[in-house]
Each structure stands twice: as C-alpha cells, then as structure tokens.
Amino acid sequence: MPRILSIDYGQKRTGIAVTDEMQIIASGLTTIPTNTLIDFLKDYFAKEKVEAVLIGEPKQMNGQPSESASIVKGFVTHFSNIFPEMKVVRVDERFTSKMAFQTMIDSGLSKKQRQNKGLIDEISATIMLQDYLSSNRF
C-alpha cells in the first residue's frame, strides 16, 4: 500500500511526517528548510509510493483563515502544478503546535530540546497525520 505524507508548511521550515506502508502509524520524517521542499518531495516521491499528501490549513480559533493561510494556499497551488497526479488533502492544523509542545514536555525533553522549532514542526505534521488516520478508519 502506498504511504500518506503530511506537511506542516512554514515560511522558513517545513515539518514532514509519513505513514508506514500499511497506513497505520504516522511517524515524523524530518524538518527541512522550506526553500528545499519541492526538491525533497521530488526525491522522496521517486523512492517511495505516496497515495496522498496532507497539507495543514492554518485557521484562527473562529475557523476563519489565519494570516499565513494565503502563503500556504500559494504553496498548494505550486505543489499541484508540479505534482498534478498527487491527491492533496487539506487538514485543519489548529492546536497542532501546542499539542506538539505538550508532547515534548510529556516525553521528558529538556527545556533546551523543547526550543527546537524544527522538532515542533515535525511533531505537528505527525499529529495532523495521525488525526487524519484515526478519523478515516471505519
């Protein structure tokens, strides 16, 4: 079975998570500089079968798009032009950063380790993906 990949897109860094081949478990893959994202994805898609890509949709508490929503929307358009065959699923990313930070605390990471914003992005992508997997099981 092909994998599902999740992207927590940011202007500077992008967190990436992926499922196992059975689409049961979401695992953090990496955090990369956003300006290298398309090249990273081309390489990854050449090596691994990917069925769909989840991309976080930044929203405010009231459900309205956040300030960064237009930047992410621009990326989604660019992504779809480069990978027209790839299924794109937009998912609500509200609270994922806070949940990621709490996960780091619960895991016993030191204060210095919790300041690693790249790790927060990767964990956020993992949380989005695991939520998607959980909500799409019958």
CA distance 77 to 60: 21
- Could you tell me if 55 and 76 are in contact, meaning their C-beta atoms sit under 8 angstroms apart? yes
pLDDT value for 124: 84
pLDDT value for 1: 87
pLDDT in tens, the chain (138 residues): 899 999 999 899 999 999 999 999 999 999 999 999 999 999 999 999 999 999 988 777 776 766 777 888 999 999 999 999 999 999 877 666 666 666 756 777 677 776 667 667 787 888 889 888 888 764
pLDDT value for 137: 61
Polymer length in residues for the chain: 138
pLDDT value for 138: 44
Q: Which domains does the chain have, with CATH numbers?
A: 3-136 (3.30.420.140)
For residue 31, what are the β-bridge partners?
Answer: 15
pLDDT value for 104: 59
- Cβ-in-10-Å burial (0-12, 13-18, 19+) of 118 comes to middle
pLDDT value for 109: 67
Q: Tokens 């860094």 sit at which residue?
A: 13
- AA letter at 99: M
Q: Tokens 């099981």 sit at which residue?
A: 137
CA distance 61 to 82: 32
Which residues, at least 6 apart from 97, have a Cβ–Cβ distance to it below 8 Å?
A: 120, 124
- Could you tell me if 125 and 28 are in contact, meaning their C-beta atoms sit under 8 angstroms apart? yes
pLDDT value for 115: 67
